[in-house]
Amino acid sequence: MLNTGGINSFTALNPSERSDSRAKGVEDMGSQDFLALMIAQMENQDPTQPMDQLAFMSQLAQFGTVSGVQELNVAMSDLAASVTGSQAIQASNLIGRSVATESNTGHLAVAGNDEAGNTVLAMRASVDVGPGASGGRFHVHNVQGDIVFSGNLPPRSGVISVVWDGIDSEGNQLPLGQYQISAEANLGNSTRAARVYGHDRVVSVAIGAGNAITLNLASGRAIDARNAREIF
């Protein structure tokens, strides 16, 4: 039943007539709200019982703290946006370059053409034979794990860069794609496993949660930029 007189049990207000029924805390106030409230308090205080100065200062301090936090949050948001933009620009400079990752996966790809116009293939990698070593051996494995190529590393220690042209030990040209790599280092009369780092080309970058930068590689893999050991 529609109530047409007396006290209505329900009244629909236009949006402009609505008021926010929530009590505002200091954290919800803007500077104008806070100052208006303080002026109203002073205008309506009992002259025989004026506002407690300590309470007044406490309210000012509370507002100053909340306002400062709000301003700090805005500043941090602006800084985060600026850092993200800067990281995006820096990350875009990696596109087209190669990175070395601590992985036993190598990628045989087209490297260009020789002087006769023939297509040149190459798989690049780095081998860390460690200190005190005198070279070692580098191996390429097919997807079944069989060794298809082995080559001697120069007789020195540290990190050694290698390039394989895709020719197996029988002189056959192997197809493009991924291969497994491994190596061992010569240490006196013994050998030890050496760390290998496959090289891959960056084709795109992405920035995710927490501004983490992901590098999308030509081989189809995606790695965290922090896992890139070297950039070429």
Q: Which domains, and CATH codes, for the chain?
A: 101-198 (2.60.40.4070)
Residue 34 has pLDDT above 90, yes or no: no
Structure tokens at 57: 């200062």
- Position 64 scores a pLDDT of 56
Lowest mean pLDDT: which of 86-90, 95-99, 167-171, 212-216?
86-90
Instruction: Please write the tens of the pLDDT for every residue from 123-175.
Output: 999 999 999 999 999 999 999 999 999 999 999 999 999 999 999 999 999 99
pLDDT band of residue 1 (cuts 50, 70, 90) is very low
Nearest to 150 by CA among 132, 173, 168: 168
Burial classification of residue 142, based on how many CB atoms lie within 10 Å of its CB (0-12 exposed, 13-18 middle, 19 or more buried): middle
Angle made by CA atoms 162, 213, 84, in degrees to the nearest 5: 140
Percent of the chain with pLDDT over 70: 62
- Position 220 scores a pLDDT of 87
Selected residue with higher pLDDT from 18 and 102:
102
Provide the 3-class DSSP secondary structure of residue 200.
strand
